[in-house]
Structure 1
């Protein structure tokens, strides 16, 4: 069993390397087997389809992203600070590991079936991320003065899950539009400010947080 698990992990390692360096389109079963140093039929023992192997590699991406979140917030006490750290990690990961990031959110893989009883569908890998954002939004808003919250269109305060969904969507949009060069083109240096790319992205992330949570001062 240990050898089988080791071989399965080797195949996923090879798939991760292919996705990061050449994109998910290059990650066929045969090429993955070749990179892992096994026979071309070996992947079928663990991944009956190409789709299954892609899902396993994307799972690895969510594990990596989750570990980065934990490290980023380890010494951050406030919910607003944790959301800010999460936002920077999310956008940074998307730009640093672009092929993996795009694979992780492919809808055809999100609907994939479990590979084994102890491995959930890929769709479920997004739930801890969204749940964490929702929890932090709720904690941050609970510390705000109700008079300074932004009401919804009907005069009510949107629930934390709705705010979290909008915040996540904005962060994902920043990551994608920055990778495509669209934000740099439309805003230019005048709006983004002079300086390195990471400083310009920091300003965009700060604007997203302020838009959904209010100015930084309400959250201690």
Structure 2
């Protein structure tokens, strides 16, 4: 039996969400079950079912909260910068920080098959929050530089930046950088380079992204 717990009315719901995330972080999402949550909380096996009819409903709540926190952090990073380009770069930095500091949550959000958004609309809305924040910043950058064309162009640029950040986060989480033999300085500079490249594409007369790059691989062996 799990720990004895005295929870106020409605407290089982919040405790179940917290315990579910703890199970995922400690043992992996495969080990999550409502019965295990109840056991760890020290409540009856039926108690969590009052709030979550299935395991998927509990999982959707956990994932939604992870996305909500992620989106809030990206928004906060952008709001801390007065200028558009530094705001985008701050969002990129915060993206990688979240992935590094909350690896289990990040993997749950992006490396696990999510519950269907049609069935869990609140989760879907929270999941889109982070991308909307990035898309909004990219769209403002487009408008700032006089690009008033279809919003789909901002969609494409935002998705490109998102994919870049996700790729970097994945490489860092799996420590692939050691296998690739890439200079760590390259990874550190990559978010800035991605955003500078976008700015250069919008205003080519202002910025040459090649001047901001770091040599990807170490010096060539002697005689090569």
Interval containing the TM-score (normalised by the shorter chain): 0.7 to 0.9
Alignment RMSD (CA, Å): 2.8
**Number of residue-to-residue matches in the alignment:** 195
Answer yes or no: is the 8 Å Cα contact 1:88–1:202 preserved in 2.
no
Please list every run of 5 or more consecutive structure 2 residues that lacks an aligned counterpart in the other structure: 1-6, 208-224
User: Matched residues in 2 for 1:33 and 1:59: separation?
Assistant: 21
1:1-220 aligned within 5 A: 3-105=8-110, 106-111=112-117, 113-114=119-120, 120-144=121-145, 159-189=153-183, 192-193=184-185, 201-214=187-200
- What stretches of structure 1 move > 4 A for 4+ residues in a row? 215-218
Contact preservation (8 Å) 2:139, 2:151: no
**Structure of higher RCO (CA pairs closer than 8 Å, 6+ residues apart):** 1
Q: CA deviation at 1:61?
A: 0.7
Q: What is the TM-score when the length of structure 2 is the normalising length?
A: 0.75
Structure exhibiting the larger radius of gyration computed from Cα positions: 2
Shift of residue 13 of structure 1? Answer: 1.0
How far apart are residue 213 of structure 1 and its match? Answer: 3.0
SS at match of 2:53: coil
What 5-or-longer segments of structure 1 have no aligned partner? 115-119, 147-155, 194-199
Deviates more, 1:58-67 or 1:167-176: 58-67
Spell out, residue by residue over 1:81-103, the C-alpha distance to the aligned partner (whole angstroms, 9 max, x if none): 22111111111111221111121
Mapped contact 1:110–1:121 kept (Cα < 8 A) = no
